[in-house]
Amino acid sequence: MIKDASSESLSARLRDLTNELRALDRDLKSGPPPDASQLGEFRQMLDSTRMTAWTVGELINARELQKDPGAMLSFLIAERLRRFGQMTKDLIADLEQHGITGQTHGVQGLFEYVNLLQERLSKLIDKHGASYEKVGDDGPISQV
């Protein structure tokens, strides 16, 4: 694989950041606790970056193995949907066990994003006239 200057620069940044994250890991394990809001923001960004890195890695692997990138993107989207479904199931359990309240940080934002997602999914379903399954605790429960 031929690498250009920007690819080399990005690789160097990844190497440097990996070393910095190793040091940060040691500090988090042995140092005083950081500011909670800063730690929360860091965790969110780290999770997002981890998913992006995983996606890019899978696309690189698909290209190297001469797999269809469209099929790989479909797989990645399916993995995001699976992950979101699991997180949603966990959030439902938290709500039912009163682990989430109206005062829980992020509830309003989540509510707004879920509404936006529902609007977009409704448009997608309407546009394609597809029949999708409703999902309950134990999997599909009925056809729409």
**Cα separation of 21 and 19, whole Å?**
5
The tokens of 142 are what?
């009925």
Average pLDDT, rounded, for the chain? 83
Examine residue 119 and state whether it is found in any structural domain, yes or no.
Answer: yes
Q: Is the pLDDT of residue 69 over 90?
A: no
pLDDT, tens digit, for every residue of 11-66?
A: 999 999 999 999 999 999 999 999 988 998 999 899 889 888 888 888 888 788 88
Q: Are 8 and 16 in contact (CB under 8 A)?
A: no
Examine residue 136 and state whether it is found in any structural domain, yes or no.
Answer: yes
Q: Is 125 left (phi over 0), alpha (psi -120 to 50) or beta?
A: alpha
How many domains, the chain? 1
Examine residue 143 and state whether it is found in any structural domain, yes or no.
Answer: yes
Examine residue 120 and state whether it is found in any structural domain, yes or no.
Answer: yes
Q: How far is CA 3 from the centre of its chain?
A: 28
Examine residue 110 and state whether it is found in any structural domain, yes or no.
Answer: yes
Show the domain range for 144.
105-144
Residue 58: per-residue pLDDT? 81
Examine residue 37 and state whether it is found in any structural domain, yes or no.
Answer: no
Examine residue 82 and state whether it is found in any structural domain, yes or no.
Answer: no
Statement: the pTM of the whole predicted model exceeds 0.75: no
User: In what helix (H) or strand (E) does residue 22 lie, and over which residues does it extend?
Assistant: helix 5-30
Q: How many CB atoms sit inside 10 A of residue 62's CB?
A: 18
Q: Is the pLDDT of residue 72 over 80?
A: no
Residue 109: per-residue pLDDT? 92
pLDDT, tens digit, for every residue of 79-138?
A: 888 889 988 998 898 888 888 888 888 899 999 999 999 999 999 888 887 555 555 544
Residue 32: per-residue pLDDT? 93
Examine residue 22 and state whether it is found in any structural domain, yes or no.
Answer: no
Residue 6: per-residue pLDDT? 83
